[in-house]
Amino acid sequence: MLGGTEFVGRAVTEGALRRGHEVTVFHRGRHAPPAGAASLHGDRTAEGGLAALTDGEWDVVVDTWSHAPAAVRDAAALLAGRAGHYVYVSSRSVHPHPMPPGADESAPVVPGSPDDPDEVDYARAKRGGELAAMREFGADRALLVRAGLILGPWENIGRLPWWLDRAARGGDMLAPGPRDLAIQYIDCRDLAEWILDASEAGLSGPYGLVSPEGHATMGSLVDACVRVTGGRAVPRWTDPEPILAAGIEPWQHLPVWIPPGELYDTMHRGSVTRALATGLRCRPVEETVADTWAWLRSIGGTAPQRADRPRVGLDPALEARVLAG
């Protein structure tokens, strides 16, 4: 596991350990890996940073890298002769926006280079990582996991934690409508379980990984957040027009939510037929919300925040103005 101490990497590591697999975690040493995993230290962006991986053989490598694609290239090239499969956790963002409803893995992808040593935008970085994995391991030994929105315990982006914190604060709470607006996301643990199943089955090629359309709605997500935090918040369902007119940015200020339109179709109406056919299972949104709240409380209520991602959430004063209007 390249990484393995935070969010998706941690979920994969813990899932593999539960299955009885021997797991080696290669990481920088900033966070402790799950108990039971072997630990190797290194910084893949530094000169000689992969030295700890020069010996050893593994059945599967899982890589969640999101930055300069050359880091994926270098790791994959080093391991290609000593590992069976390479699982690269990519993103549905490799498909250019907008995408029509029902778009699947065959949709067009953005350009990318496996040899780019510099920071590029997220979509091109993920596409470059895909190309690096395929070039070094071959199409039959590289699995490209194009995840959608990822939620759940250990989240270090802040989307679901923000909704939980807001619900816990109580009072009238801006709830972006329509209430029955369907949303697509994947619990990090369901993503991890599918990755492990797919690895054991030797799957290769691209797979879109997100919940089926209609699995959850903004209403079921918000209601679950209110319920698990004690019911102190009162959702005030509001149409998109006054929200947008107030300068509130979908996705950024109100995480997960995107009003109906082209971007909504791209983010929340993708096809997961291929993944479902290979056994993808998605737990209820209520379970994801409850477990994330329990995790937040277990660490003191403050979620970790990735330094390379902006903080999400709505300013309380702006929320109050919209509710008063």
Q: What's this model's pTM, rounded to 2 decimal places? A: 0.96
How far is Cα 14 from Cα 33, in angstroms, rounded to an integer? 9
Q: Provide the 3-class DSSP secondary structure of residue 222.
A: helix
Non-local CB neighbours of 18 within 8 Å, separated by 6+ positions: none
How far is Cα 240 from Cα 166, in angstroms, rounded to an integer? 19
pLDDT digits (tens), the chain, 325 positions? 999 899 999 999 999 999 999 999 999 998 999 999 999 999 999 999 999 999 999 999 999 999 999 999 999 999 999 999 999 999 999 999 999 999 999 999 999 999 999 999 999 999 999 999 999 999 999 999 999 999 999 999 999 999 999 999 999 999 999 999 999 999 999 999 999 999 999 999 999 999 999 899 999 999 999 999 999 999 999 999 999 999 999 999 999 999 999 999 999 999 999 999 999 999 999 999 999 999 999 999 888 888 888 899 999 999 999 999 8
Neighbours of 110 (CB within 10 A): 18
**Dihedral angle computed from the Cα positions of residues 102, 104, 106 and 108, in that order, rounded to the nearest 10 degrees:** 70
Please choose, from the candidates 40, 137, 138, the residue with its C-alpha nearest in 3D space to the C-alpha of residue 79.
Answer: 137
Take residue 183 and report the two structure tokens written for it: 């949303």
Place of tokens 């403050």: 302
Give the chain's largest Cα–Cα span. 64
Please choose, from the candidates 156, 147, 146, 195, the residue with its C-alpha nearest in 3D space to the C-alpha of residue 30.
Answer: 156
Cβ–Cβ < 8 Å for 142, 85: yes
Please choose, from the candidates 264, 153, 277, the residue with its C-alpha nearest in 3D space to the C-alpha of residue 217.
Answer: 264
Please choose, from the candidates 113, 20, 9, 107, the residue with its C-alpha nearest in 3D space to the C-alpha of residue 65.
Answer: 9
